[in-house]
Amino acid sequence: MAGYNRKAAVIGAGVGGLATASRLAARGHEVSVFEKLSQCGGRANVIEDKGFKFDTGPSFVLMPDFFKEIFEDCGEDIKDHLDLKPLEVSYKIFFPDGDTFTVYRDSDRTKQDMERIESGSSAGFDSFIRYSGDIYKAVKPLLSECMTLKSLISLSKLALLPKIHPLSTFWKAASGFFKTDKLRYAFTFESMFMGVSPFETPAFYSVITYSDHVEKIAHPMGGMYQIPKALENVALKKGAKFNYNSEVKQIEEKNDAISLKVNGREEVFDLAVCNADLPYSKSELLGQELPKYRYSCSVFLMYMGLKKKLKGFEHHNLFFARDLEKNIEEIFKTNKVSKDPSFYLHVPTVTDPTLAPEGKEILYFLIPVPNLCVNEKGVDGREEELRDLVLKKMKEITGEDIEPLIETEHRFYPRDFTRRYNILNGATFGLSHNLTQSAFFRPPNYEPRVKNLYYVGASTQPGGGLPVVLAGSMAAVKLIEKGVNSSRGGNRP
């Protein structure tokens, strides 16, 4: 099967689409990529203004093995394409009472700071790392495979279930190792970067925390946008063709081939991999009625270029609400725009001063807010209020008043995720990562109703986040190579 070269379309030039295009082109397939925007990256994009380079999407490089693997799979060395610099300080958490907690590359320093907050917590840290490490070892091989309920029945997969604690939550897992809410939240906040509450996220997502503390965090010098650009370069080198400003409007199966309607014409391929968000693809491109999916939260983003450097901040910073449990409930249950928001602050110029003019600073604020499922207006009309709340909170906790320092500012709202990226309900992270939409229960990397159509991206398996989406591209390619869901193979999982 692998030697049978085919004409393949990739719909969407997000990171998942770029990785899939690179893999397929490296295998000798004739690959055409169609992207509605004028450049690659999808949510992982960039804004350039007055000498500032604002990365607009993901800001962490976690699980470095998956980044190395995509380049190796295409016969490339990652070092020829990306300069990944490990961070000595992974992130800093600012608590509302003025206390802080810093996570270092050196875990001994992290544990010293933990002991200041909670006596005996360093032992809990070691135990939590062993716990999450066991899950990571069990889960990692599955991330590059399309998982189905049929495959779950196999004895090898059933044996995994006790190891991944499927009925426990992320919060419950952390609570077994830490006594204070400060540390419990410090070790579970990552769930909000998947757009779901730590009180609902399955415990096996603690693998993200494991990666934070064991595999550590890195930054691609030149900015996060270097990642999609590197993948685009690999795909081009392997022979893929890119069609920008080319939005696919319809997907249809015709005589075991895939027909696309794009720019007013029909394009026909042997197969297609859809990197457009899965719910949008099913409802708008295929005309299907969607199941009752649950969606992740949305975010309100602010990008600011400052006239001078700040002190006391790290590359990654988190500010927690006074009542974080209430804030999480507002985001995920009551659909309220909080008057006491938690937020993430990215200051990449701490590590990479080339992203701003000399002596100046970049700030990227991410504020989790409800998606548009219930409240169709989202934060409309509340933007200035949210902005002021965040800047006021930052000033109260750190003493920094940044308002007079702002040289340029850009904002991105929940509705913009729908308008720009075709993400239903402004759900920034795609489908929610609750138990019934994780692992074997998450939509697979193929379309059951259409032969030769496959999926890659945050809303399909294995889920959201750059390394996980990269693994998902491998899962999709494996299906294609095996002839799964193909007119050649004739078989479906």
Angle in degrees, 0-180, between the axes of helices 15-26 and 466-482, rounded to the nearest 10: 40
Determine phi and psi for 486, rounding to 5 degrees: -115, 150
Domains in the chain: boundaries: 7-45+61-82+222-292+435-482, 122-212, 298-369+379-412
What is the per-residue DSSP string for 61-110?
A: B--HHHHHHHHHHTT--GGGT--EEEPSEEEEEE-TTS-EEEEESSHHHH
Encode the chain (493 residues) as per-residue pLDDT tens digits: 344 689 999 999 999 999 999 999 999 999 999 999 999 999 999 999 999 999 999 999 999 999 999 999 999 999 999 999 999 999 999 999 999 999 999 999 999 999 999 999 999 999 999 999 998 988 888 899 998 766 666 655 656 665 666 678 999 999 999 999 999 999 999 888 778 899 988 888 888 899 999 999 999 999 999 999 999 999 999 999 999 999 999 999 998 899 999 999 999 999 999 999 999 999 999 999 999 999 999 999 999 999 999 999 999 999 999 999 999 999 988 888 889 999 999 999 999 999 999 999 999 999 999 999 865 666 666 777 899 999 999 999 999 999 999 999 999 999 999 999 999 999 999 999 988 898 888 999 999 999 999 999 999 999 999 999 999 999 999 999 999 988 765 565 5
Q: What is the third-level CATH fold of 7-45+61-82+222-292+435-482?
A: FAD/NAD(P)-binding domain (3.50.50)
Angle in degrees, 0-180, between the axes of helices 15-26 and 226-237, rounded to the nearest 10: 20
Size of the chain, expressed as the number of residues it contains? 493
CA distance 196 to 435: 11
* Residue pair 346/363 in contact by the 8 Å Cβ criterion: yes
* CA distances, 490 to each of 8, 259, 274, 487 (Å): 18, 19, 20, 5
Point out which residues pair with 317 in neighbouring strands: 92, 345
142's tokens: 């599955």
Task: Give the predicted TM-score (pTM) of the model.
Answer: 0.94
For residue 462, whether the previous peptide bond is cis, meaning omega lies within 30 degrees of 0, is yes
Spell out the residues 6+ positions from residue 119 whose beta carbon is closer than 8 angstroms to its own.
Answer: none
For residue 100, which of 318, 323, 347 has the smallest C-alpha distance? Answer: 318
Superfamily in which the 298-369+379-412 domain is placed by CATH: Protoporphyrinogen oxidase, mitochondrial; domain 2 (3.90.660.20)
Buried b vs exposed e over 144-157: b needs ≥16 C-beta within 10 Å? bbbbbeeeeeeeeb
CA distance 306 to 50: 11
* Residue pair 341/390 in contact by the 8 Å Cβ criterion: yes
